[in-house]
Structures are given as C-alpha cells and as structure tokens.
C-alpha cells in the first residue's frame, strides 16, 4: 500500500522536476525511494523531456505520404519513419527535428525519395503529463478539456531564444532526449566519442543558460501493449486544429501532439473507449480529419539526430549535411 501511494505522489511531481533530488523534494519522498520507484517505472514506460523547440531555433517537420512508399534513404535530421494503416490503405509518416532555417533543404531532399501528400512545421509540442484531473477525463469531458488545456500545461519559456546554439547546447539537448530527463549532463558527454568534454564551469553555464530555458516540462509515458491499445495517428487541418490537438494530447494514456499553423497531428495510445471521440471531432469543431484514424506500426526507423553535426563551427551558422540515412526494417513488438 505504501509503495502505491509513493508512486502516485512521484508521478504527479514529475512535470516540474528536473533532477532526482528535485523530484524527491517535490514528491515528499526520500532520494532512495525515488531511485527505487524510477527503476520500477522504467520497466513499464519512459520518462521524457518536453521541449520548447523555438528556444534553439528548431522545429519538427511532419510529412505524410498517402501512397505508402517506404524510402530507401531519408535526410539527416529524420527522427521517425512509420507505416500507417487506415480504411484508405497504407501510408507513411515521416518526422524530423531540424533547424528552421534548413526546412526547405530538408523537404527538397526528402522529395527525392517520397511523394509528399501533406506536410507542416510545428510551432509547439505538447504531451500528456501526470495529473490527477487528467487521469479522470472521459470522452464526455472533451469539450471542457479543449477550453481548459492551457491550464494543465506548463507555460513556454519567457527567455529570449538563442541567436545560435553551439555544440555543447545541442549535445545536452540530444542527450536529454535520448537518455532521459534525469541523466546527468556530465554523463551525456561521456557517451560521445570525438567531442572533448567541457570544464565543470563551462558545462554548468551551458546547462543553466542554454538548455534549461528550453526544457518546458517532464513527463512519463506508461506504454501499453499495442494489442490492447494500438498506436493511432490523427491528422487535423483547420483553424481549430491547435485547440483540439492540445486537448487530444492530454487524454489519459501515452499521447502527444505536434502543432503547426492550422495543422496538427496527434499520436498516442488512447483506450478504445475514446476512439469514437475522434469520429465526432470534425462534426463538432472547425477542423478536417482527411485521413480519419490511422493505426501506426512501430516498424521502420527512429532516432534522435546529432544536431551539432548541422553546425558550421567556423561560420557559426547552420549547414546542410549531405549524408542520407539508409532505412532498414526494425522489428518491434
């Protein structure tokens, strides 16, 4: 019984915690208990850093190919390639994480490999976060959630965006996205070959001034069996896309939304009882869902790009890497 109470307290403290010590203090439990419970939770799901990408001049590019072609190569910066299945047939979802200034070059290179049906760049990234009120949301509560979603999500940074991030900033970002929010900055640099670790003072400065302002909040996704809760993708167009997508990301379960200008896409594992809600949304809000619900296979490619390889260190500007990433089928369950 004690362990169960501690787990709930820990989960609700996660969004505003960035270190194990901070998490222990916010949850009101011992540091030892935090380590034990995090180890237990890590066997059931993943901890994630949710970022304000604009702080580093970055964006997510979302591309849909409704012909379902699987490219042999994708451009540098691609973070995911997934097969989608819907009533309309097979499609391909391609996601990337790149500097805003290189979006045109990315799309030019990608079009050499696939036919682009729809695409947009994100201005915001929202993901579910542990909260007792959100856990209690039912499909009939969705309208209220659309109106109140901003109350649940920590605000974006008020810090002035970096004019140009440097290698240390981007390595810290890469490490936190890949290894998780509670990985120590020094441990991130120890995992990279060919990059000299900065001094303790320099690392501390970059972490506090150039990384933390872009760290919006922390979350935890408990991953369910895809047999019981399949991953779905829901693409939206229209002036209310942003409001609807934010609320979808906050539904109970593993969910996230990438939001652009009058475009958005939701990905997650909502329980089957929520699926009829997706059919009602285009009838209720000023949005279109041209492909309806698509089911996503975890079968092709996923990665966190080494963004510092897109830096021209001499000119202190972004550069386009010419190398492409070969695609090999990944078998995942």
Let me know if residue 20 belongs to a domain: yes
The tens digit of pLDDT for each residue in 200-248 reads 999 999 999 999 999 999 999 988 887 888 899 999 999 999 999 999 9
Banded pLDDT at 154 (limits 50, 70, 90): very high
Whether 277 has a pLDDT exceeding 50, the answer reads yes
Let me know if residue 219 belongs to a domain: no
Whether 170 has a pLDDT exceeding 50, the answer reads yes
pLDDT at 330 (0 to 100): 53
Among 19-33, 97-111, 229-243, which is the least confidently predicted range?
19-33
The tens digit of pLDDT for each residue in 280-306 reads 999 999 999 999 999 998 777 888 999
In terms of pLDDT, which residue wins out, 89 or 173?
Answer: 173
35 close to 48: Cβ distance less than 8 angstroms: no
Among 8-17, 221-230, 237-246, 255-264, which is the least confidently predicted range?
221-230
If DSSP codes are grouped into helix, strand and coil, which group holds residue 226?
coil
Phi and psi, residue 128, nearest 5°:
-55, 150
Whether 187 has a pLDDT exceeding 70, the answer reads yes
CA dist 150 → 83, 143, 217, 243 (Å): 32, 13, 14, 9
Number of domains in the chain: 1
pLDDT at 253 (0 to 100): 78
Let me know if residue 51 belongs to a domain: no
What's the whole-number mean pLDDT along residues 107-116? Answer: 95
CA dist 315 → 164, 279, 310, 320, 321 (Å): 11, 50, 12, 13, 15
Let me know if residue 204 belongs to a domain: no
Banded pLDDT at 195 (limits 50, 70, 90): confident
| Closest to 307 in 3D by CA, of 205, 212, 124, 177 | 177
Give percent of the chain with pLDDT exceeding 70: 97
Banded pLDDT at 171 (limits 50, 70, 90): very high
Let me know if residue 96 belongs to a domain: no
Print the domain residue range for 33.
2-43
pLDDT at 12 (0 to 100): 94
Let me know if residue 331 belongs to a domain: no
Cα(101)–Cα(279) distance, integer angstroms: 36
Q: In 103-140, which positions are buried (b, 16+ CB within 10 angstroms) versus exposed (e)?
A: bebbbebbeebbeeebbbbbbbbbbbbbbeebeebebe
Let me know if residue 17 belongs to a domain: yes
Let me know if residue 15 belongs to a domain: yes
């Amino acid at each position: 019984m004690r362990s169960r109470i501690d787990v709930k307290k820990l989960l609700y403290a996660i969004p505003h915690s960035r270190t194990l010590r901070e998490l222990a203090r916010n949850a009101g439990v011992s540091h030892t208990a935090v380590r034990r419970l995090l180890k237990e939770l890590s066997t059931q799901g993943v901890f994630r850093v949710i970022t304000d990408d604009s702080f580093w001049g970055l964006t997510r590019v979302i591309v849909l190919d409704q012909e379902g072609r699987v490219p042999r190569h994708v451009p540098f910066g691609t973070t995911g390639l997934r097969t989608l299945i819907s009533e309309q047939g097979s499609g391909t979802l391609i996601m990337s994480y790149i500097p805003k200034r290189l979006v045109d070059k990315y799309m030019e290179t990608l079009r050499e490999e696939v036919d682009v049906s729809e695409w947009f760049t994100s201005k915001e990234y929202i993901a579910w976060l542990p909260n007792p009120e959100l856990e209690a949301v039912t499909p009939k509560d969705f309208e209220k959630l659309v109106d109140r979603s901003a109350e649940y999500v920590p605000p974006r940074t008020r810090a002035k965006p970096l004019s140009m991030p440097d290698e240390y900033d981007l390595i810290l970002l890469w490490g936190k996205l890949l290894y998780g929010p509670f990985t120590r900055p020094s441990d991130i640099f120890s995992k990279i070959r060919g990059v000299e670790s900065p001094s303790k003072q320099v690392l501390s400065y970059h972490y506090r001034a150039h990384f933390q302002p872009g760290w919006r909040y922390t979350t935890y996704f408990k991953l369910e069996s895809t047999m019981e809760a399949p991953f779905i993708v829901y693409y939206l167009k229209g002036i209310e896309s942003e409001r609807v997508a934010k609320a979808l990301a906050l539904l109970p379960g593993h969910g996230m939304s990438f939001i652009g200008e009058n475009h958005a896409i939701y990905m997650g594992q909502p329980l089957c009882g929520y699926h009829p809600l997706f059919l009602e949304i285009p009838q209720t809000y000023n949005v279109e869902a041209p492909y309806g619900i698509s089911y996503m296979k975890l079968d092709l490619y996923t990665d966190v790009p080494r963004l510092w390889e897109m830096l021209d260190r001499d000119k202190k500007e972004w550069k386009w890497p010419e190398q492409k990433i070969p695609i090999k089928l990944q078998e995942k369950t």
